[in-house]
Structure 1
Amino acid sequence: MIGKHSFYFALAICCATGTCYRASAQSSHIGLIEKNSNISASDIFHDLNQSKDTLLLQSNKPITYVYSINSDYKREIDSYVNKNEFKLPLSELSKGKHVLVVSQSSKKIVFVLHIYDSKNLTSVERTKLSYSDN
């Protein structure tokens, strides 16, 4: 009988600790990425992490430079990287639309990142951009 109560007590402590950890790890910024689908852009992996609060950049070759331009045409990120991986917490960007440019030697990969307030967000759906000449 004592073992059963000890188990429930330990389970309650684990659940409470896990809940506190998740709550503190949540960010108020969440992102939606419009990936560059050009075949030359496939050299650089660019996506959001599972919780959608960090941009992940990875490549076999060093990423030279990363910058972002927001909807007010101001640079918020302006970093020389010179590494194969780069992580950008979305909390470092203002809410709204950002055009990101990732430079790798002579190549530049451009994609769009939308930053939303996760507290006011109900749902985000991924859409594919297309162009019609009709």
Structure 2
Amino acid sequence: MTRLTTILFLFLATFMYSQKSTLLKNINYRASELQHNLNQEGDTLILRGERTIDKVEIFNDDFQKVYLVNGLETKIPLTDIPVGKFITEVKVNDKLIIITLLRHDNFEETTENIKEEQEATIVQRSTSGQSTYQNEAEGKTILPIESEEPLIETPPKPVKFYWIVKNINKGHSSSKKMRIGDKEVVDQMIAQHEIDLQLRTGKHNTLTIWEVYNTTKFLRFKRQHPDYATLKEADCFNTKPIYKSEGD
């Protein structure tokens, strides 16, 4: 009981309440280099990093906005962000830090949403005995259903965005770039990758792209399942890559 109370206290301490927004702070130690808060009115996201903040993306299934920063700190106005729940992805050099932002009009309604998030996280941490990123209760694997009845073909799911993983191998060093992108970004990266493969410096690079049906669920699912790339079934993304190229 004491342990559960401590977890509850720590979880509640990660919330930044305000009139118009609620920020669910990322308490993972890998995110400690980024200070992230809201102003008193809740209409501005304030970010300060120990290293350069390259850009910030705020998105959900129906909305996406990108802010180029290239500095140690920034203030992002939230007045044009609609009501809803958003993933805030902050790129700090080679690291992506994920924060959850709630935009709301009705505080009581938001309190209920936070309570649901809180209960889901506490149950997961208590049963697993491990500390994870906040809000990782979602993400389920679909299991095949045995039936003697003829199977009805399921219509394809609408693709919201794409998950892109590019491995850069220069022989003496290697790095990995991961991001969410739309169809235009995918086309650009595939075209660039095909060019890279013809060059001596890029012939060992690899590029893999998956279709994502629900970006919010996928990002949580990915953090909860580091082996996501080897899974056969999932409800938030197409486990079979639409593009997979291996370097020579």
> 2:20, 2:103 within 8 Å by CA — same for their partners in 1?
yes
Distance across 1 between alignment mates of 2:34 and 2:95: 10
Query: Percentage identity across aligned positions?
Result: 31
Determine the structure 2 residue equivalent to 1:16: none
Distance across 2 between alignment mates of 1:37 and 1:106: 19
Determine the structure 2 residue equivalent to 1:121: 107
Distance across 1 between alignment mates of 2:38 and 2:109: 16
Q: Deviations over 1:17-49 (max 9, x none)?
A: xxxxxxxxxxxx710011111001010001111
Distance across 1 between alignment mates of 2:85 and 2:20: 12
Distance across 2 between alignment mates of 1:71 and 1:94: 12
Distance across 1 between alignment mates of 2:109 and 2:35: 25
> 2:89, 2:97 within 8 Å by CA — same for their partners in 1?
yes
Are residues 1:55 and 2:45 paired? yes
Q: Deviations over 1:85-121 (max 9, x none)?
A: 111122121110000000011110001000012xx43
What letter corresponds to residue 133 of structure 1 in structure 2?
T
Determine the structure 1 residue equivalent to 2:76: 88
* Unmatched segments (≥5 aa) in structure 2: 1-18, 129-248
Higher strand share: 1
Distance across 1 between alignment mates of 2:35 and 2:61: 24
Distance across 2 between alignment mates of 1:99 and 1:123: 19
TM-score normalised by the chain length of structure 2: 0.37
> 1:66, 1:80 within 8 Å by CA — same for their partners in 2?
yes
Distance across 2 between alignment mates of 1:84 and 1:92: 23
Following superposition, the deviation at residue 69 of structure 1 comes to 1.2
Distance across 2 between alignment mates of 1:80 and 1:59: 14
Task: Give 3-state SS (helix, strand or coil) of 2:20's partner.
Answer: strand
Distance across 2 between alignment mates of 1:71 and 1:33: 18
Q: Deviations over 1:68-94 (max 9, x none)?
A: 11242x31x212210111111221211
* Unmatched segments (≥5 aa) in structure 1: 1-28
Determine the structure 1 residue equivalent to 2:59: 69
Report which stretch shifted further, 98-107 or 53-62. Answer: 53-62
Determine the structure 1 residue equivalent to 2:88: 100
What letter corresponds to residue 84 of structure 2 in structure 1?
G
Following superposition, the deviation at residue 122 of structure 1 comes to 5.0
> 1:30, 1:90 within 8 Å by CA — same for their partners in 2?
no
Determine the structure 2 residue equivalent to 1:38: 28
What letter corresponds to residue 43 of structure 2 in structure 1?
D
> 2:104, 2:110 within 8 Å by CA — same for their partners in 1?
no
Higher relative contact order (CA 8 A, sep 6+): 1
Are residues 1:110 and 2:98 paired? yes
